[in-house]
Amino acid sequence: MYQFAELDWTGSHDTVVVGIGAADAVETGLDTLFNGRVKSLIQSADISTKTGEVSIVPTFEGNIKRVLFVGLGQRNDSSVENLRNWFGKVAKEIKGRGFTDVAVALDTFEPGVASLFAEAYEMATYEHPTYKSAPKSATPDVTITLLGDVNEADVEAGAAYGRGVNVARTLTMMPANILDAVALADYAVDLAERRGFSHRIIEKEEMEALGMGALLAVNQGSTIPPKLIVLEYNGAGDDAPIAVVGKGVTFDTGGYSIKPKDGIVGMKGDMGGAATVLGLFETLATTKPAVNVLGVIPATDNMISGDAFKPDDVITAMNGKTIEVLNTDAEGRLVLADAVTFAKTYEPKAIIDVATLTGGVLVALGTEVTGCLTNDDSLYEALETASRATNELVWQMPYFDVFIKQVRKSEVADLNNSPGRYGHMIFGGAFVGEFVGDTPWLHLDIAGTSERSAANYLGPKGPTGVMVRTLASMLEGWKR
């Protein structure tokens, strides 16, 4: 899709994208396309220099049909996030208007923004899959020529960030009768074989042999067997990996602690953590950071039947700890418990788990901020640094002994899976922490950020693919 060339105002393109600030001197070649009238077009408001506003103006001369101007104001608002959003806005204009031959004068925005443009373009032009009987109209192919001093590897990396997000979006959007645990495992195997990752699928019989009583309990009510999906990216030889564990509950009824009718709609997205892991691996295939990464996804649905697990059951996790089940709708932490324990058999440098775990994180932080727990402040600092670059906001929640004691409070077992309503987000994370031990650990609760209720410059309403870019950025900068 991308071509590369030097900036040449005498070249031939249907559309050229240009950033223009209020105080900018107009480049001679650009002004020539408008017979020297760019300043007068600005004065008449036919070209807007207001921050983020788009103006599309036909040219008067030359082989360029039109110029799409993006206003940069006084250029003091050209932050990474603003540029990403403006590039997303440009991408939507390109797609919406059916432009097929577009050149982007990147240096008129800021130096070194090629990766940002590619990332934004992939995300902004994405469309969710649908299952309507009438086929959608085909989108015309577009050729984008990036003008200026452009590093092609940066463009590939930016596009890979966007593609990883879109993989996670697509998987999260798929209905559970199409994407069940078996289909999710098949997708992971296909990804691994296409992209050159090692892979392993642990079946129910092996889970039983390993003693994964927590994951198996959640699966008891289902007719679809569970899968433990294991992917390995090797970028650092024999070095210990960073384990990324994603909750893969393909549909969550709540079990016998059943969800209300309004709350059960949308539970196909309860595998958002698994989608993040798979999107991350899609990105790693291109960015190739110098680290080893272990991906672990416990995949199952949480259904109701005569065989389903129940409140008051006592189950035994892979590490031998017993758990009193007080709430079958607190199932995500149960599947993560066994997945984290399994990940520890690889002796990882760190464990990061990602999950649509609790409604409590929505109450605490809303829909724009991912809640985090950690036992290692430097690990959180690395995440926070990466999140600032991607603008995927994170916030560290307290992880005190008072919460841990509540998780350990049971008269009949070592742990309980639901100490109560207050502090629920922290209890969910603290429960997973009981299976981490001394390994450096981050818990990311994306229940509030994995979906958006309205479209924005970088994508449609619905699944967001949150944390794919942040984790990819964090792993690229890994120095521990």
Q: Which positions are catalytic? A: 259, 333
Q: Which residue type occupies 304?
A: I
The residues, ordered by sequence, that sit 6+ positions from 467 with a Cβ below 8 Å of its Cβ are 276, 354, 370, 392, 444, 446, 449
Give exposure, 9-20, as e/b (b: 16+ Cβ within 10 Å): bebebebbbbbb
Q: For residue 117, count other CB atoms closer than 10 A to its CB.
A: 28
- Answer whether 429's CB lies under 8 Å from 409's CB: no
Give exposure, 171-208, as e/b (b: 16+ Cβ within 10 Å): bbbbebeebbbebbbebbbebbeeeebebebbebeebe
Nearest to 184 by CA among 225, 232, 129: 225
- Parallel, antiparallel, or unpaired: how do β-strands 198-202 and 101-105 relate? unpaired
- Answer whether 51's CB lies under 8 Å from 73's CB: yes
- Parallel, antiparallel, or unpaired: how do β-strands 314-316 and 322-324 relate? antiparallel
Q: Which residue type occupies 447?
A: A
